[in-house]
Chain A
Amino acid sequence: MTFRHKHLLGIEHLAPGDITEILDLAEQYVDLNRRPHKHSDTLAGLTQINMFFENSTRTQASFELAGKRLGADVMNMAMQASSIKKGETLIDTAMTLNAMHPDLLVVRHPHSGAVDLLAQKVNCAVLNAGDGRHEHPTQALLDALTIRRSKGRLHRLSIAICGDVAHSRVARSNLMLLGKMENRVRLIGPPTLVPAQFAEFGVEVFDDMREGLEGVDVVMMLRLQRERMDGGFIPSEREYYHRYGLDAEKLALAKPDAIVMHPGPMNRGVEIDGEIADDINRSVIQEQVEMGVAVRMAAMELLARNLRAAQPESVEV
């Protein structure tokens, strides 16, 4: 056992061994989740609080299910509706919750770095469920598990990440994880959404989608946020779809067995053609959702192990 982290704040701090350990453990939970009896007692007695300062249906449901299947007591707090509106600061909210002795805190926040800040102030293990445009580590891990299961490996693959990379925490976590596991990453999008400076991260940047998709093993699409239109990043949805929407013609340039991924929720007809999203031979979008629960179970189990090992004294990692 090598995973020694107290929190899961981002992919940045994980070693390749940590990533493999999470994925290996997650495989076991994939099996468990497919059985009629889906329950384990790994987290029995522990309290998990999901604090979402930003709307989320899927990620929150996935974390909730993961905690419940492991036997934790799970509570959801919709933070955008509560104390923040009353002017309480993030730290105060964290201290209040901390006083209730949670063991696992799952946090999503609209500002980059907010989850790191919160983790400094509480005693429990913190999982980043997405902070601003910084990181979304469990998404990258579930993507990695999906790729590993489809392709049989998680190294020496050519992977294209397409769309609004600049504002995407999913893209950041993914390009870090895929880089650590020694894959070739390409970023595809208009230069307003994929600034050239990403090339400094050792990835290739393309503004021509056809060129970028040439011969890739994996096509990872990103969601186009509607508010990007107002920001003047792209001229219109239809021009975006024409140039950067994934359709059969563009996908034909990738390897014949290339898989198509999307973190959801999809805008059909904006970044992805509906038929491709539904094509069971190419699209692994539903499998990504399934892997999400398993990966989150694995991550929480590893953090809980370290939490228990550290008691009664807490140890900083």
Chain B
Amino acid sequence: MTTLFTNARLIDPETGHDAPGCLLVDDAGRIAAREGTIPAPEGATLVDCGGHCLAPGIVDLGVKVCEPGERHKESYRSAGLAAAAGGITTMITRPDTTPAIDSPETLEFVTRRANEAAPVHVLPMAALTKGREGREMTEIGFLMDAGAVAFTDCDRVVTDTRVLSRALTYAAALGALVLSHPQEPGLSRGAAATSGKFATLRGLPAVSPMAERMGLDRDIALIEMTSAAYHADQITTARALPALERAKANGFDVTAGTSIHHLTLNEMDVSDYRTFFKVKPPLRAEDDRTAVVEAVRTGLIDVISSMHTPQDEESKRLPFEEAAAGAVALETLLPAALRLYHAGHLTLVELFRAMSLNPARRLGLEAGRLAPGAPADLVLFDPDAPFILDRWTLLSKSKNTPFDGQRMQGKVIATYVSGAPVYQRS
């Protein structure tokens, strides 16, 4: 089946293209042509985009799906539907499940479940150390054979530098990408907020924003030692940015991401102990937020992720210190990101460079572009459509979003995976 998208505002982050045009998708689910006008081939399905935006589908690096272990929080089915509704065409899933995804057997189970249940691409990451305990590296080679696209202990820092250096050395030999959570764990132990006036006022145990830079500094030194391919999962503070810039300038294979929450919210949003705003690392000061937005604009920070972390009501209905961290974001990633577009901080090309092109490139995927030959993983959206978010309408099983009741702008109209619609707004 060939499909011709007409009357679209095409956003291609690879070429920086943001202009009206047409996109032709061939029967193999790949992009065949991108032109100003394309005559409709015989038998082609026509999609009139109504002048709305057509962009490469989002490649979301760092999604937590709670299988195995806590399927009541999120399954591959519910996460897949939520992703499709959010314009995400590839989920790169995290291994911080119960048990952790640290063996080829668990990974195969997860991959099978994902392929059965999710309408979007799912590519799993595996743990870097067994049980994410930071003591022994996992079977990185076997896990790669089983389909692991990257290795990470998620929010747990491998504190034993020797263990980490060996894992990085081994991963480097296999060409495996390692994701790390830059944080100095001694400083951040027990913290529920970022130190500063707000945390003091609320009496919350807090971590200095400097802890992130200290963690990143250590990791970068290890990269210099081992030459591994490294991605910092979330850079959220201004003070970490110069270290990142230096590492890139020195030619190390280093990239960095940030979460949509750290780009669009700050510590004051916690207000009267609202636990839906408890994320890890904690929300930062406004100065840090604006510095991170600017780093996305310049390309210093490569990737924007949802850091989708489902939590049930019980784990959030607790005193702030005891409440679980994390927020669901598959369906709010795009509208929240569009806040930065509407505020004039980032262009659509810059947003999709960070949400689609860069994560795809980092993982060696062909997606993330509107170029002939690329897979037709696409999102069609109206960037201006306003709505008020009601968390109970989310397709995720868990409803822990900090954007509940907030005014948002930007709705997904349809999502396509390999040219086939996987979501269409009713």
Which A residues lie at the B interface, using CB under 8 A? 12, 89-91, 109, 111-114, 116-117, 131-135, 169, 172, 195, 197-198, 200-201
Contact = CB atoms under 8 A, between A and B. Distances in A.
B273 A112 contact: yes
A132 B321 contact: yes
Contact of A197 (B196, B314, B317, B321): B196
Given A111-B322, A113-B273, A195 B200 contact: yes
Contact of A113 (B197, B200, B317, B319): B319
A116 B202 CA distance: 11
B195 interface: yes
B420 interface: no
Contacts of A113: 202-204, 272-273, 319-321
Nearest to A53: B319
Contacts of A116: 272-273
11 contacts: A90-B318, A90-B319, A112-B202, A112-B273, A113-B204, A113-B272, A113-B319, A132-B203, A132-B321, A200-B200, A201-B197
A114 B197 contact: no
The 7 closest A-B CB pairs, nearest first, are: A134-B203, A113-B273, A111-B319, A114-B319, A133-B203, A112-B203, A200-B197
Contacts of B203: 112-113, 131-135, 169, 172
Given A111-B321, A113-B321, A134-B204, 14 more contacts: A12-B201, A89-B314, A89-B317, A90-B318, A112-B204, A112-B321, A113-B202, A113-B273, A113-B319, A133-B203, A197-B195, A197-B197, A200-B197, A201-B200
A89 B318 contact: yes
Given A134-B203, A197-B196, A200-B197, A91 B317 contact: yes
Contacts of A112: 202-204, 273, 319-321
Contacts of B314: 89
Nearest to B313: A91
Contact of B319 (A117, A133, A135, A200): A117
Nearest to A120: B272
A112 B273 CA distance: 9
Contacts of A135: 203
Interface string B258-274: 00000000000000110
A52 B245 CA distance: 51
A151 B197 CA distance: 31
Contacts of B320: 111-113
Contacts of B273: 112-113, 116-117
A223 B203 CA distance: 17
B12 to A, nearest CB: 46
A134 B202 contact: yes
B250 to A, nearest CB: 34
Nearest to A198: B200
Nearest to B199: A197
A200 B320 CA distance: 23
A305 B204 CA distance: 33
Interface in B318-350: 318-322
Nearest to A135: B203
B319 to A, nearest CB: 4
Contacts of B322: 111
A135 B320 CA distance: 15
Contacts of A197: 195-197, 200
Nearest to B193: A112
Nearest to B317: A91
B140 to A, nearest CB: 38
Nearest to A12: B201
- Interface core residue of B196, B319, B320 (most chain A CB under 10 Å): B319
A135 B201 CA distance: 9
A233 to B, nearest CB: 13
A201 B203 CA distance: 14
Contacts of A90: 318-319
Interface in B121-176: none
Interface string B302-325: 000000000000100111111000
Contacts of A89: 314, 317-318
A194 to B, nearest CB: 11
A132 B205 CA distance: 10
A271 B272 CA distance: 33
A133 B320 CA distance: 12
A114 B320 CA distance: 7
A112 B322 CA distance: 10
A279 to B, nearest CB: 32
Interface string B2-19: 000000000000000000
- Tell me which of A90, A109, A117, A201 has the highest count of chain B C-beta atoms within 10 A of its own C-beta: A117
A132 B196 CA distance: 17
Interface string B168-210: 0000000000000000000000000001110011111000000
B256 to A, nearest CB: 28
A113 B322 CA distance: 11
Contacts of A12: 201
A200 B200 CA distance: 10
Nearest to B200: A197
B277 to A, nearest CB: 12
Nearest to B195: A197
Contacts of A201: 197, 200-201
Contacts of B196: 197
Contacts of A132: 203-204, 319, 321
Contacts of B317: 89, 91, 117
A12 B316 CA distance: 24
A195 to B, nearest CB: 7
A90 B315 CA distance: 12
Contacts of B197: 197, 200-201
B209 to A, nearest CB: 12
Nearest to B204: A112
